[in-house]
Every structure is written in structure tokens, then in C-alpha cells.
Amino acid sequence: MGNSSLIDGQTLISMGSVFQLGFFSPVNNSATAYIGIWYYNIPPRESKVVVWVANRNKSVDTSMTSLNLTSDGNLILFEEGTRVWSTGTSAELNSARLQLLDSGNLALTADNSNRILWQSFDHECDTFLPGMKLGFDLWTNTSWQFLSWMSATDPSPGMYVGKFEKYNVPDFFTQSVNGSVKIFRTGPWNGLWFAGLPMLGNSILERNINFTYVSNQNETYYIHEYETRSPQLTRTVVDADGTYKTWSFVGGGWRLFLSFPTDDCDHYNYCGRNSVCTKGYYSSSCRCLEGFEKKNVVECARKEPLRCSSNRFWKEASVKVPDTENATSRGTISLDACKKLCLDDCSCVAYAVINGPYGCITWRGDLLDLRSFTDGGDDLYIRLPESSTSNWKKLEWAIVISTLLGIILLCSVGVLVRRRRRNRALQFPNVEKGSISAFNVLPSHDLHTIKVATNDFSEENKLGEGGFGVVYKGQFDDGQKIAVKKLSRYSSQGPNEFQNEVSVIAKLQHRNLVRLLGFCVEGDERLMIFEYMENRSLDAFIYDKAKSSLLNWQRRFSIIIGIARGLLYLHQDSRLRVIHRDLKPSNILLDKDMNPKISDFGIARIFEGDNALEDATTRPVGTL
């Protein structure tokens, strides 16, 4: 076709009416304008969600500007006859065609052959769309990356870029444009998703996303597309502050369903060199890796230097493997073969075997940006100095002595348990005598099993605490995750409250009530075993600035409705009429899908009979 032009007020719309190309101003009533692509007919219309900008480096005055497609295959933005921006193509063609595709890609093609001369998907902006490549082309020495806006109202190139680094084991980062500040790292590709984002697996399954990763001698890139034919509106953005967010258009609005960094441990190398970050319930903690000790506030150093003869390894389980800048891929081999390769290389300080194309990976130098995961992650094997023969002999004797002491201790514990069980009825008379029938519907667990499940009630497994005592995360041998509520000996919730909570929950079944899986009464220990709630309690979201942003109105409304359904069941629909008497955000637990469940029935009251609700409460109850 001949020369064509686009001026202010005119737009180009994709065939399926998904995207629109035209002039836009990021600030209302401003003469500053850009050529961009945004979602077509998506409310609210007043706030365009722009996914690509052509003339990022220079705005134009629309009254004097036009976008021209020349017959030789060049797209040029003119302002008063001066070239402001162009595709830089000139194929000496008789005709060329410009198309805006439903994917959001602006493609300039040779009209006769559909050969792509230029496409917007090859030129970065701040948004990554399904169908885009993210990586680098070794043949042309160019990168597919995305670059933040300077601010929410200024689309000029900003301070942060999302890109793959051209390492032997490629790693994706969000970092400052000059690379001096790294914000976040995903970890290498593991064949399904990125190794440092184990939580991404559920999002892929739920949204039917087809992830593809290509790595060969010519190019390395990642791409994702939806398996369904109808386009699903999603976008991933690097914001002006360097955060990485993924949005999905659901129910008439944009919903944030992934955001990184999500916590302190996601921030690049938060704990410094040769250390690992662990996210706690209230805050994150740092510790040096095995064989290292604190050198200063930003790094750990080896206690003893490594020698080439060093042949011991420490397994750091379920972690995000270190920054791969100093890593080497050894291919798909067994764990033992990978260990041997590391032993044979005097510079190797650690190794891991992960799924995907890179298999065995070895590291040299310092180990950076490690974090632990409760679920997922990979095992990292860290090389330690070789111990002397005398040390090994001491260790052997220590093992023998510890084993003998363990046998003696085990026998003593068996005798003690028997004695305690005899005294159990005296210590918990209400539970043992008067109302044990209320417990018959639930399995009773022995204390030893629960100790094993919670790593002996370790600090790492601690989820939270209150006036009742402490709640710990645990896992049974069959893999079932649990939350164990361990009443303190000094708790205001004594035997009556314990019995009350177990009895009440055992008789109630509703999707918005936390499920009690079992209990334990042994000696002076009183334990309740609940289903594990991945997102903890509602108060952790409400009173945390970062987390509260995840509670958009749609999510808040859903939580409110869930709580209301649970209360309706308690007050009206259940065979028992129950008043909770201590409903508060910390007693609303959230599962992995953010569904609310009412918990903590220690001071709940059951009303029976037609006139039950007329009964008076004779003492103050609940939280001050």
C-alpha cells in the first residue's frame, strides 16, 4: 500500500479488539504525548494501561505530529517535519503493511511475503506480555528485556531493567540499568519454572500457562503463552521502583497475583555473602552457612581455609541456589557424579543438581543470595575443610557413646511415659473421666510423634504465639502438613478451655471453620493438631503495609463473605448453636487460596434449647 499516516485522534485497533495503537498522554490535559499501545475498551477508560511506547526518549506535540508508514517499509514519527523516532527499516519494497496483533505486538511486514521487517516485541518497554521473548540473541548480540518507566507519569527509560544475564548458567534479574544494584533474582530455569520461585508452580497450573525455555548456541530465551485459544489479559511489569509485578484481568478489573520481592529474603543477597536468609512469621533471620562464621554485618567468612584435599560436604536443604555468576553447568549427570566433579576441581566450593537443562551446577568463590524455603527449593552441597584423623576418631567415639546413652534414655523415657499415663486422669480429670466421649471422633496422637513432626517444637517451626501458648508448623511422616497448638503450662486457657475447644470443633464441619485433625494429652502437655494454613492469619495482612496491598477490594470482599458464612453456620445452621466470643483478625486463618477460616474456640459457648440465647454470660470474656 502507499504512504499512510496516523495523527492525533486516530487509532489502529487489533483484529480481535484487544489492543489499540495511537497517541496518548500519561498526564491528563497535557500537551506531552507519545505513540503507544494500550488495552482497548478495558475499564476504566480514563486510566489507559499502556504496554509499549515508541518515542520513550522524547515526547511530541500532537498538533504538529504524525506517524507515517513509507512504501519502502519504514515507520517514522515526524514532528514539524523532523524525525523523532523510526523503526530504522528500509527494505526497498514496493509495499509494506503495519499490523497490530491481538497479542499486543506491532508488526511491520513485507506485504507480499508476510516476512517480518520489524516488531515491537523486539524492543523493550516496561511490560512483558504473553508471546514475548525474554533473554538474549547471541547471533545478533541483542537482548530481549524490559525497562521500567522513570515514573508513573513519565515513560522515558527508567532506573531498572529486567533481564537475563549471559552467564554459563543464565539467571534472570531485576537490577539497576548499569547493573550496580541488583533487586531480585529468580534463580536458573529448572525445566518447569525458575528454581528460586517454587511458588510459581501453582500459578502455572491454575492458569493453564505454557512455559517454554530455549537455550542453544544461538539464543537463550523464556516465553510463556496461554494454552486456551481465547486471549487472557495478563501483563508483567517492572515498576519505577524496581519491583516485579504480574497482573491479570479478572472480574472487570486488574488483580495482582504475583509480586517480587515479596519479603526480605527475596531482596538480592539480603543476608550478605555465604549466608542464608530464612523468612520467619514476624521477620526474617540470617545465619552463616555451615563452615562459615560472621565476619562483619554484610558477610560470613570461612572458619578454616579450603584445601584441594578437602572432601567433606554439608547439605543445605531446600534453598534457592546461589547467584550463578560464578557457576558452571556440568550437564545432566547423577548426584554422585556431580560430587566427584566438584572434588576433582580445587576451585569448586559447592554443587547442586537441579531439574532442567543445566543439571549439575558447580560454584567457585563466594556464595551469594541464598534463601531457605519451607516448600520447594533445591539441595546445595557446600564443601568443608577436611577433618584430621584424630577428629574423625573422636567423632566415631562420640557416635558410639551417644548411641548407648540414647538407648538408655529411650528405656527411661518408656518407663516415665507409662507412669505419666497412670497419672493422666488425676491431672486432667475432666478430659479423662467426664467427657472423653467428646474426643472419640478425633484421633489421639502421642507426644513423641508430634515432637518428630515439629522438629521437637523448634524455633524454626514456630508460627506464632499468644496468651494460650505457641503454634508450631509440623509434618507427619506421610507428608501431611499440620499446625500444632501447644498450650502453655501458665496459659489462661486451662483444662476446661482445652476440652471446650476440642469438643466444639470436633462437632462442627464447615469450609470456613478451621479443621481439627487430632489432639494429645500426655503428662502436663495439652496439644491440638489443626490443618495447616499457608497464609497464616488475617492480621498479618491487615497490619503489614507490604502485604495489605495484596488485599484488593475483591479479595477483601471474598474474605468478609467467607467469615460471614462461617458465623451463619455457627449461629444458625449447625446442629449446635455456638457463639465464638473472641472473633478478631488473628483468629481468622487463610489457606493457600486466601479462603478465611475461623479458629480458636477456647472460650466459645454452646447454646442448646429454645431459650438458650436468653442465658446470661456471667464473666467478661474475649480479648481486651
Q: Residue 113: left (phi > 0), alpha (psi -120 to 50), or beta?
A: alpha
Would you call 437 exposed, middle or buried from its count of C-beta atoms within 10 A (0-12, 13-18, 19+)? Answer: exposed
3 state SS of 68: strand
484 and 445 both lie in a single domain: yes
User: Domain boundary at 362, 386, 410, which?
Assistant: 386
The pLDDT > 90 percentage for the chain reads 40
Q: Which domain holds residue 27?
A: 4-175+203-239+248-258
pLDDT band at 101 (very low <50, low <70, confident <90, very high): very high
22-73: per-residue pLDDT in tens?
999 988 767 789 999 999 988 665 568 999 999 999 999 988 899 998 877 7
What's the CA gap between 519 and 526, in Å, rounded? Answer: 8
3 state SS of 331: strand
pLDDT band at 435 (very low <50, low <70, confident <90, very high): very low
The pLDDT > 70 percentage for the chain reads 82
Can you give the pLDDT at residue 89?
80
Average pLDDT over residues 519-528: 85
Can you give the pLDDT at residue 433?
36
CA proximity to 135, closest of 221, 211, 218: 221
Q: Residue 17: left (phi > 0), alpha (psi -120 to 50), or beta?
A: left
CA proximity to 303, closest of 395, 384, 362, 366: 384
Residue 623 within any structural domain of the chain:
no
CB 87 within 8 A of CB 74: yes
Q: In the chain, what is the straight-line distance between the N-terminal and C-terminal CA atoms, in Å?
A: 77
pLDDT band at 400 (very low <50, low <70, confident <90, very high): low
Can you give the pLDDT at residue 328?
95
The residue that leads in pLDDT, 615 or 620, is: 620
Residue-wise over 56-70: b if at least 16 C-beta within 10 A, else e?
beebbebeebbbbbb
335-365: per-residue pLDDT in tens?
999 999 999 999 999 999 999 899 999 999 9
273 and 254 both lie in a single domain: no
Average pLDDT over residues 580-585: 87
311 and 360 both lie in a single domain: yes
Can you give the pLDDT at residue 2?
40
What's the CA gap between 603 and 617, in Å, rounded? Answer: 11
Residue 430 has pLDDT above 50, yes or no: no
151-160, 214-223, 574-583: the lowest-pLDDT one: 574-583
270-294: per-residue pLDDT in tens?
999 999 999 876 678 899 999 999 8
* DSSP-assigned beta bridge partners for residue 33: 60
297 and 429 both lie in a single domain: no
pLDDT band at 179 (very low <50, low <70, confident <90, very high): confident
Average pLDDT over residues 149-163: 92
Average pLDDT over residues 559-588: 88
Residue 407 within any structural domain of the chain:
no
Residue 611 has pLDDT above 80, yes or no: no
Can you give the pLDDT at residue 92?
60
The residue that leads in pLDDT, 432 or 543, is: 543
Phi, psi of 533 (to 5 degrees): -105, 110
Cell of 178: 548499569
Active site residues: 582
Average pLDDT over residues 99-115: 86
Residue 492 has pLDDT above 70, yes or no: no
Tell me whether residue 507 is annotated as binding.
no
Residue 358 within any structural domain of the chain:
yes
Half-sphere exposure of 161 (CA within 13 A, CB side): 17
What's the CA gap between 263 and 456, in Å, rounded? Answer: 27
Can you give the pLDDT at residue 544?
79
**DSSP conformation letters of 262-321:** -SGGGSTTTT-BTEEEEE-SSSEEEEEPTTEEEEETTEEEESS---TT--EEEEEEEEEP
439-460: per-residue pLDDT in tens?
566 788 889 999 999 999 988 8
Report the 10 Å Cβ neighbour count for 512.
Answer: 20
3 state SS of 352: strand
Can you give the pLDDT at residue 227?
65
Report the 10 Å Cβ neighbour count for 494.
Answer: 15
CB 15 within 8 A of CB 102: yes
Can you give the pLDDT at residue 215?
87
Q: What is the CATH number of the domain that holds 558?
A: 1.10.510.10
CB 124 within 8 A of CB 135: no
Can you give the pLDDT at residue 551?
84
Residue 196 within any structural domain of the chain:
no
Average pLDDT over residues 608-618: 54
Residue 417 within any structural domain of the chain:
no
Q: Distances from the Cα of 425 to the Cαs of 332, 413, 496, 528, in angstroms? A: 60, 19, 14, 18
124 and 273 both lie in a single domain: no
Residue 401 within any structural domain of the chain:
no
Q: What is the CATH number of the domain that holds 125?
A: 2.90.10.10
pLDDT band at 429 (very low <50, low <70, confident <90, very high): very low
Can you give the pLDDT at residue 432?
41
3 state SS of 466: strand
Residue 560 within any structural domain of the chain:
yes
Residue 424 has pLDDT above 60, yes or no: no
Element (H, E) at 517: strand 516-522
CB 398 within 8 A of CB 350: no
282 and 136 both lie in a single domain: no
Average pLDDT over the chain, rounded to an integer: 83
Can you give the pLDDT at residue 250?
79
253 and 282 both lie in a single domain: no
Chain centroid offset of residue 261 CA: 8
Can you give the pLDDT at residue 428?
42
Can you give the pLDDT at residue 77?
94
Would you call 81 exposed, middle or buried from its count of C-beta atoms within 10 A (0-12, 13-18, 19+)? Answer: exposed
What's the CA gap between 516 and 532, in Å, rounded? Answer: 10
Determine how β-strand 275-279 pairs with β-strand 370-372.
parallel
Residue 609 has pLDDT above 90, yes or no: no
432 and 566 both lie in a single domain: yes
155 and 234 both lie in a single domain: yes
CB 108 within 8 A of CB 117: yes
Cell of 126: 516496561
CB 108 within 8 A of CB 119: yes
Q: How many domains does the chain have?
A: 3
Average pLDDT over residues 356-376: 93
321 and 231 both lie in a single domain: no
CA proximity to 39, closest of 58, 14, 61, 59: 14
Residue 14 has pLDDT above 90, yes or no: yes
51 and 97 both lie in a single domain: yes
73-96: per-residue pLDDT in tens?
789 999 988 999 999 887 665 677
Q: What is the DSSP letter of 572?
A: I
Residue 209 within any structural domain of the chain:
yes
274 and 230 both lie in a single domain: no
584-604: per-residue pLDDT in tens?
998 899 998 889 999 887 777
The residue that leads in pLDDT, 606 or 67, is: 67
Phi, psi of 138 (to 5 degrees): -70, -25
What's the CA gap between 350 and 339, in Å, rounded? Answer: 9
